[in-house]
Structure 1
Amino acid sequence: METLHQIYDARVASGQIKRDDAQLAALPELERIREELAKPVKRGFFRKAPEPPKGLYLWGGVGRGKSMLMDLFVDALDEPARRVHFHAFMQEIHSEMHRLRNDGVEDPIKPIAKSVSDAVRVLAFDEMQITDITDAMIVGRLFEQLFEAGCVVVTTSNRIPDELYKDGLNRQLFLPFIDLLKDKMVVKELVSERDHRQDRLQGAQVYFTPVNSDSRAAINALWEELTHGVEETLTLHVKGREIELPRYHNGVARAKFFDLCGKMLGPGDYLKLAENVRVLILEDIPQLSRRNFNEAKRFVTLIDTLYEAGTCLIASAAARPEMLYVEGTGSFEFERTASRLREMQSADWGAKAFGDGA
C-alpha cells in the first residue's frame, strides 16, 4: 500500500501539484489516521471496541492546499468515508431534523447521528465555518454522538477552533463544542506563504470576450484547474433568505450573470457572497443598456463589492469593459465600473486578492 507521502510525490512528479513543505508537514497526521483505521479490529462478545484514532483539524489561509490534502487522504482510504462541504452537511442535517419533527420525533439528533455513523467511518469536512446560530446550537450534541459512535472526523478550516462562531449570539453555549473538537482531533496549522490558486491564475487571462465556444472552453479549463472537478452547492443565509450558488468548491464559485444580477439581490447579498468566495467566475455578462437597467445597476453593485473585498474575478462578457454600457441612464457612471474591471484583470490584482493569507 502506497503511503500518502508516496502518492503526494507521484502527483508532484506528474505536474498535478507543486511541492510545498507546509503540505508535506501535514501528511504524517493524515497517514497516522489512515494507518490506525487500516488495523484489523479483534472482535469478541466481551471485547470492548477500540478507541478510534483522533481526527484532524487542519486550518490555515485560503488556497494553501488544505482541501487537496484532504481529498488525497479520502481517495486513499479503504474505509467507508464521506467528503462533503461542511455548510452543505449542516443543511442536510437541518432538513432531516425538520422532516423527523414533522413525523413526531421530539429529539431528532440521536437518530440522525446514528444514520450518519452507520453509513461511514470517516467524515471529511471541507471549510468548517460556523456563522449561523442554528448550526451553533446543534453541532455540540451532534458531534458528541458521532464521536461516541466511533466516527473519525477530518476537517479543513480557515479559522483556528477557538475562533469558530467568534462574536456569535450566545457563544458561551457553543464553547463546549470547541473543547470537544480539541479533545477528539489534533489541531494543526498549515503554515504556507503560497496561495496555490494564485499560482494557477498568475499571468492567466481572466476576462473573455466575446462569449463563444472558445471563451467557454477557456473558462471550463480554469474551473477544472481551480477545483479539480470537485463541486458542491453553497447556500448563503442573508436576513432569513437563502441564496444558492450551485457550483462551488474551496472558495471558488461559478455563476451566470442572471443568477446574480437578474434576481432581486442587493448590497447585503453581494457582501455575503464576497465574505465566502475568494474567486468568482461570472459568465455571460450581456451588453448593458436602458433595456436591462436594473440588471446593470445590480452588476455595478456586485463589482463594487467584489472590488472592495479584493475578490478575484474571472468573467466572460459580450464586450470589453469600456464597451459594455455605452448608452442609456447610468452609462457615464459605469466608467468607474469599467475601470475597476480593468484593474481586476491585472497581475497586481491577483496578488492583492490572494495576499496576506486572506
Structure 2
Amino acid sequence: MTTLMDLYDERVAEGRIQRDPAQEEALPEFERIREALANEPPAKRTGLFRKPKAPEPPKGLYLWGGVGRGKSMLMDLFVESLNVPVRRVHFHAFMQEMQAELHRLRGEGVEDPVKPMAKAVSDAVKVLAFDEMQITDIADAMLVGRLFEQLFQAGTVVVTTSNRVPNDLYKDGLNRQLFLPFIALIKDKLVVRELASERDHRQDRLKGAKVYFTPIDNTARAEINRVWQELTHGVEEPLVLHVKGRKLELPRYHNGVARASFYDLCGQMLGPGDYLAIADALRLLVLENIPRLGRNNFNEAKRFVILIDALYEARVKLIVSAMDEPESLYIEGSGAFEFERTASRLREMQDASWGHPPA
C-alpha cells in the first residue's frame, strides 16, 4: 500500500519538490486519515429494519501556517492517495456555492434549507478538502456553524488549510460572538496543527524570477507557460465564484493560483465586486495579453485599473504579459493621466518581495 510518505519521497526524487522537515512532520496527520478511511469497516446493522450504523469517522485536520509553506502541496498528495469520494475546493468558492444554494432553496419555500444542503454534500463525498479556510463575510459566518455541524453528523471528514489559527477566524467580525461555537466545533472535530516551516516555497520558486513579460511574443508565452507549470505541476481546473447571484469563472486555477487573459477579466461586463471576489480568492494571478490601452478600449482600460487596484490592496502576486512596459501601456486618451498610478503599482508589484505576507 502506497503511503503519503512514499508519495512525498517520490516527488522529492523526481525534483518536483524540496524536502522540508516541517512538511514531513505534518504528513502523519494526513496519513492517519488516509489509513482510517482505507480500512474503514462496513456499517453495522443494529436491527432488522434499522438503517446500518456507519462507523465513527476519523478526526479531520486543520493545517495552518504562513503562505507558501507547502500546505496545498501536502493536500495534493493527500487527495491523490484517497480511495473514497473526495471534493477538493477553495473554501471561498465553496461558501459562495452554499450561499447561492441557500438563496435558491429559500426561494422555493424550504423552511430549513441547511439540512438538505448538507445532505446533498455528504451524500456526494466522504471527504471535503478545503484550501485556505477564512471567514470575512458575515453571511458566511452565520452559515458555517449549522452547515458544518450537519456535515459532521453525517460522517463527512473535513481537511482544510488556512493561513490563520482557528481562534483568529472572523477576527473582529460583526457579531463574532455568534461565530464562536464554530471555532469550538472545529477544535472538537479536527486536529489543529501548525505547519511551521521557515521557508516560503512559493516565493522561492519566484525569487529573482521575471514576472513582467513584454512584448507579447513566443519567448514571453514560453516563459509564462514555464512559470505556470512550476506553480501548478500541470494540475488545474476552473474556479467558479458566485458574486451577487452571478457565476464568475476563472478558466484555469490551482491552489490559490489562477491564469486568465486580459479579455477574460477586462473584456467582460465585470465590476468592483467581481474584482474584489477575485482578489479575495487568489494569492497569485497570471494575467496574459494586456494590450495597449486608449480610446479604442476605454471601458476595458477602466476595468483593468479597478482590477489592479483590487489585486494591489489584497497584495496578490501578479505575473503578466503585456504589449509594453507599464508606463507605455496607456499614453493617449482621457484616462492616461489617471493610469500613472496604475503603472506605478504595476512596477511595485514586480518587486521580488511583493505578495501576501504570512498570516
For the aligned pair, the TM-score class normalised by the smaller chain equals 0.7 to 0.9
Alignment match, 2:38: 38
CA distance in 1, matches of 2:254, 2:43: 40
Task: State the Cα distance separating 1:343 from its structure 2 match.
Answer: 4.4
Q: After superposition, give the CA deviation of every residue in 1:19-46 in whole Å (9 maximum; x if it has no partner).
A: 1111111101111111222224155433
CA distance in 2, matches of 1:169, 1:215: 46
1:90 corresponds to which residue?
A: 95
1:118 CA drift (Å): 2.1
The 2-side partners of 1:146 and 1:333 are apart by: 49
Structure 2 counterpart of 1:324, which letter? L
The whole-number CA distance in structure 2 between the counterparts of 1:187 and 1:306 is: 30
Within the candidate set 334, 351, 354, 2:353 is matched to 351
Residue 130 of structure 1, aligned match among 128, 132, 135: 135
Count, aligned residues: 352
Q: Which runs of 5+ in 2 are unaligned?
A: 47-51
Instruction: State the 1:68 CA deviation.
Output: 1.2
Match of 2:20 in 1: 20
Supply the distance in 1 between the matched residues of 2:317 and 2:310 (Cα, whole angstroms).
Answer: 12
Range 328-337 or range 112-121, more displaced: 328-337
Q: Within 5 Å, give how 1:1-358 maps onto structure 2.
A: 1-41=1-41, 43-46=43-46, 49-228=54-233, 229-233=235-239, 235=241, 237=243, 244-246=248-250, 247-262=252-267, 270=275, 273-303=278-308, 306-307=311-312, 309-331=314-336, 334=339, 337-345=342-350, 349-353=351-355, 356-358=357-359
Post-superposition offset of 1:124? 1.0
User: CA 1:352–1:262 in structure 2 vs 1: closer, same or farther (change >3 Å)?
Assistant: same
- In structure 2, distance between residues paired with 1:298 and 1:87: 23
1:209–1:316 contact (8 Å) kept in structure 2: yes
Is the partner of 1:123 in helix, strand or coil? strand
The alpha-carbon deviation at position 301 of structure 1 amounts to: 5.0
Aligned to 2:49: none
CA distance in 1, matches of 2:338, 2:188: 55
Cα gap change, 1:297 to 1:101, in 2 (>3 Å): closer
Change (3 A) 1:293 1:122: closer
Distance of 2:184 and 2:321 partners within structure 1: 46
Report the CA distance shift for 1:315/1:25 in structure 2 as closer, same or farther (over 3 A): same
Is the Cα contact below 8 Å between 2:163 and 2:358 reproduced in 1? no
Asked whether the equivalents of residues 96 and 112 of structure 1 are also in contact (C-alpha less than 8 Å), the reply is yes
| Separation in structure 1 between the aligned mates of residue 102 and residue 40 of structure 2, nearest angstrom | 35
Secondary structure (helix, strand or coil) at the match of 1:168 reads coil
TM-score normalised over the length of structure 2: 0.86
Shift of 1:293: 3.8
Question: Does the CA-based 8 Å contact 1:122-1:151 persist in structure 2?
Answer: yes
CA separation in 1, counterparts of 2:54 and 2:213?
Answer: 58
The answer to which of 124-133 and 179-188 deviates more is 124-133
CA distance in 2, matches of 1:352, 1:215: 21
> Aligned equivalents of 2:263 and 2:53: distance in 1?
57
Does the aligned pair in 1 maintain the 2:256–2:281 contact within 8 Å?
yes
SS state at 1:137 partner: helix
Q: TM-score, normalised by structure 1?
A: 0.86
- In structure 1, runs of 5+ residues without a counterpart are none
Query: SS of the counterpart of 1:327?
Result: coil
Deviation at 1:245, TM superposition (A): 4.8
- Distance in 2, Cα, partners of 1:45 & 1:306: 54
Deviations 1:219-258 (A, max 9, x none): 2332232123223425275xx5868351433332333224
How far 1:186 moved relative to its partner? 0.3
Cα distance 1:216–1:236, how it changes in 2: closer, same or farther (>3 A)? farther
1:147-166 CA-to-partner distances (Å, cap 9, x unmatched) read 11111110111111112122
- Give yes or no for contact 1:64–1:196 (8 Å, CA) kept in 2: yes
Alpha-carbon spacing, 1:10–1:328, altered in 2? closer, same or farther (3 Å)? same
Q: Secondary structure at the match of 2:353?
A: helix
Q: Distance in 1 between matches of 2:242 and 2:168?
A: 20
Relative to structure 2, which stretch is displaced further, 285-294 or 262-271?
A: 262-271
Aligned-partner Cα distance in 1 for 2:121–2:175: 27
For 1:36 and 1:110, how far apart are their aligned partners in 2?
27
Cα 1:258/1:243, change in 2 over 3 Å: farther
Q: 1:222 is paired with a residue of what secondary structure?
A: helix
Amino acid at match of 1:110: K
Question: How far apart are residue 54 of structure 1 and its match?
Answer: 0.6
Q: Separation in 2 of the partners of 1:160 and 1:36? A: 25
Q: Percent identity?
A: 69
1:244-279 CA-to-partner distances (Å, cap 9, x unmatched) read 351433332333224444456666765664454332
Q: Distance in 1 between matches of 2:72 and 2:31?
A: 16
Contact 1:85/1:232 (8 A) holds in 2: no
